[in-house]
Amino acid sequence: MRAMRIEGVPASAGYAEGPLFELDRPAGVYASKASSAEETLSLEAAIGKAVSRLVAMVGTADSDAAGILEFHIAMLEDDALSGPAFASIASGKTADAAWRQALDAEIAGYDASDQDYFRARAADLRDIRDQVLRALTEDGDSTAPAGAILCGEDIAPTRFLETDWSHGGGIALKAGSTASHVAMLARSRGVPMVVGLREPLTAGSGMALLDAEHGTIVLAPSLTEIGSFRQASSSFAARQGKAQTFLARPAATKRGTAVRVQVNIADPRDVDAIDIATCDGVGLMRTEFLFGKTLPDEETQYRAYRKVLEWAGEKPVTIRTVDAGGDKPVPGFTVEEGNPFLGLRGIRLSLARLDIFRVQIRALLRAAPHGNLKVMFPMIATSEEYERAAALFAEERAALAARGVAHKMPPLGIMVEVPSVAIAPEAFAGVAFFSIGSNDLTQYVMAAARDNAAVAHLNSVRHPAVLRLVGSVAAFGQENGIPVSLCGDAGGDPASIPSLLEAGLRDLSVAPAQLAMAKAAIADVPV
């Protein structure tokens, strides 16, 4: 076979060399039972086995992975999902056929949607379907060999989490997305991943070379190509090693310009693995992790916020009020919409559900005395939204004071992710700070969904239109004494950092795993 190079989109930088392993393998053969009652018991046992596997994985997962797994557990335990399958068994179908038919019907409905949110839900359902089918057939022949490059249409989060990546390996997908759950997990664990490949792969291709720094895979490579690949891989590893020497140092450009580098976290437990000396604080603490199966009470939220504030000491901790909606549904809080990214999400949803928002506000006010708290509102589009949210903080502060409860009013800022704010920042001259959410700002400016591989080439923070808005917000902040930071994925991308600094930013917030590489990239920028 002649060497073949296929282009794709880098989702998690790195290099992998090994055999291809097909993800889209058919499940094993199910042994039918003698009666409907036995088929029912068989499906119940398989669902239970799948849940047990997920529960075991939750115990060793980090916060991001645990949230995904808990969502799958909740769906498997939902009678509304399994009910149609049990009804089909009662009508004479075998357990595997009934389960596949019921789940495929659900998946087809979501797949047919033109909304990325619903198509993403279909991927979760496919994962759940296949977990139970594997349990039904007791299919044990689906483990990839050590160091293999997993290839296929897409990969389920659970498949990623149960794979042993300690011996290398990577992921190469025909579909997939740089903003998917698996892509985020891959970046946090250093697993090379390429999505949006222009041609399908087949496992019969033998040895493959995955360059997830530039987004290519080479099948049946020549000796010359193998040599060049290994040289590039060694260079990448050397750069990573060199980057570690920057981790404990304050970030500065080649000309000595200081740049603040903070971290993004999704769960209070995340800080247990971070040395506060390596960062300048928390630039984004997401609070959606608290809004899982049940809505959190005030005390639960207070304890979570206090933990992070006490860990950070005098360094700032910027907590974002709940950014539910869009691709982050919350049972009992969010609503299903035809176009959720442009619907009732972020601050819009909080202002529509004051009963829930006031609880979070009180918890934040009570936690503020325990550290250097800053609070920001997501998805702000108009100054009236900010003013309403700030007024609620003032009301709850007065109520706590009347009750003699310890509290403190933190600085209140906004996310700059809706183009209306980036285009006319003067309407928000009264806010305490701006934090640019590059993920949403880019997808709204470019009209290209961040989780759609088909338009991934359009979704770039380095597009002149996006950078012009970033630069104008940074300039407005500097002229008016309003601090400006950036907390999207671009802040930790070495390829984007030079453009962001040249646009005027001097404060970036990145995933903890990206701290060293971000600081190293900053040191190479001549500004």
* Domains, the chain: 4-24+142-235 (3.50.30.10), 36-137 (1.10.274.10), 253-523 (3.20.20.60)
Annotated active-site residue 181? The verdict is yes
Per-residue pLDDT of the chain (527 residues; tens, 9 = 90+): 678 899 998 889 999 999 999 887 776 788 899 999 999 999 999 999 999 988 888 877 766 677 778 878 888 988 888 999 999 999 999 999 999 999 998 888 777 665 555 566 677 788 899 889 989 987 655 678 889 999 998 888 888 888 889 999 999 998 877 767 788 788 878 899 999 898 888 756 578 999 999 999 999 899 999 999 999 999 999 998 999 999 999 999 999 999 999 999 988 888 998 999 999 999 999 998 787 656 889 999 999 999 999 999 999 999 999 987 655 566 667 667 666 667 788 899 999 999 999 999 999 999 999 999 999 999 999 999 999 999 999 999 999 999 999 999 999 999 999 999 999 999 999 999 999 999 899 999 999 876 676 787 788 999 999 999 999 999 999 999 999 999 988 999 999 999 999 999 999 999 898 999 999 999 999 99
Catalytic residue, chosen from 181, 279, 370, 407, is: 181
| Alpha-carbon Rg for the chain in angstroms | 24
Q: Rounded to an integer, what is the distance from CA 127 to the centroid of its chain?
A: 18
Catalytic residue, chosen from 151, 279, 407, 487, is: 487
Annotated active-site residue 487? The verdict is yes
Contact 279, 318 (CB under 8 A): no
What is the rounded distance in angstroms from the CA atom of residue 261 to the CA atom of residue 281?
Answer: 8
pTM for this model (two decimals):
0.78
What is the rounded distance in angstroms from the CA atom of residue 98 to the CA atom of residue 289?
Answer: 34
What residues have CB less than 8 Å from 74, skipping those under 6 apart? 293
Query: 180-193 burial string, b = 16+ CB within 10 Å, else e?
Result: bbbbbbbbbeebbb
What residues have CB less than 8 Å from 34, skipping those under 6 apart? none
